[in-house]
Amino acid sequence: MPVTLWAATLPAVVEELLNEMAEAVRESAQIPDEHLLSLKFVFGSSAIQALDLVDRQSITLISSPSGRCIYQVLGSSGKTYICLASCHYCSCPAFAFSVLRKSDSLLCKHLLAVYLSQVMKTCQQLSVSDKQLTDILLMVKKQDV
């Protein structure tokens, strides 16, 4: 997964941390404790919740033959949320409130979980038809009404 994905949306310090984590995973297949501590320092309790989502393999990369793809995250409450693969968007209420409206968070736990699952290469994969992908993207809209 290209790491440049974060470039436009996250502050440089977060991008650097994620890149370092990706490198550590490539070298030793695990993430050093100090990186996890930095993660907790930057994202607070979201970091733990996001790591928990990754552990439970709650992140699915959904792709269609066209090459378009999106992420689906199964939240702790059992609801699923959609995160776009190319830019910063999650369909969960926390993203709407804390990230968009109040601007007091950089991202929600689902988006962080997506980025972490890319780093750790622990995404589930699901192939759907082009038509099905359209329906999933359109449903995001209905979901938050």
Partner 1 sequence: MAETLRRVLNAGGAAGLEAEEGAAEGGSLLLLGGPGSGKTALLFAAALEIAGEGRGPVLFLTRRPLQSLPSRSGSALDPLRLQKIRFQYPPSTQELLRFLCSAHESRGPTPALLLVDSLEDFLEEEAGTQDTAYLAALLLDTAAFFSQRAGPGRGCGLMVALQTPGDGDSDGGGGALLLSLLLRYFPARCWLQPGPCGLRVCLEPGEGIPRAEWSLVLGPDGEMSATPCATQAGDPSTGPGAQG
Which listed residue (3, 36, 88, 98) binds partner 1 by CB under 8 A? 88
Number of residues that bind partner 1 (CB under 8 A): 25
**Residue 99: CB minimum distance to partner 1, A:** 9
Near partner 1 in 106-145, by CB under 8 A: 130-131, 133-134, 137-138, 140-141, 144
DSSP letter string, 79-132: -EEEEESSSS-B-SHHIIIIIIIS---S--HHHHHHHHHHHHT--EEEE--HHH
Q: Which of 30, 66, 76, 127 binds partner 1 (CB under 8 A)?
A: 66
CB atoms within 10 A of CB 16: 13
CA distance 134 to 62: 11
Q: Which of 38, 64, 72, 105 binds partner 1 (CB under 8 A)?
A: 64
- Other C-beta atoms within 10 Å of 137: how many? 14
User: Per CB under 8 A, which of residues 8..27 are in contact with partner 1?
Assistant: 8
Q: Which is nearer to partner 1, 48 or 137 (CB)?
A: 137
For partner 1, the closer CB: 8 or 37: 8
Rounded to the nearest whole angstrom, what is the least distance from the CB of residue 8 to partner 1 in the complex?
7
Are 128 and 136 within 8 A, CB to CB? Answer: yes
| CB distance 112 to 46 below 8 Å | yes
How far is residue 83's CA from residue 94's CA, in Å, rounded to a whole number?
Answer: 13
Site residues for partner 1 per CB under 8 A: 8, 64, 66-68, 84-89, 91, 95-96, 100-101, 130-131, 133-134, 137-138, 140-141, 144
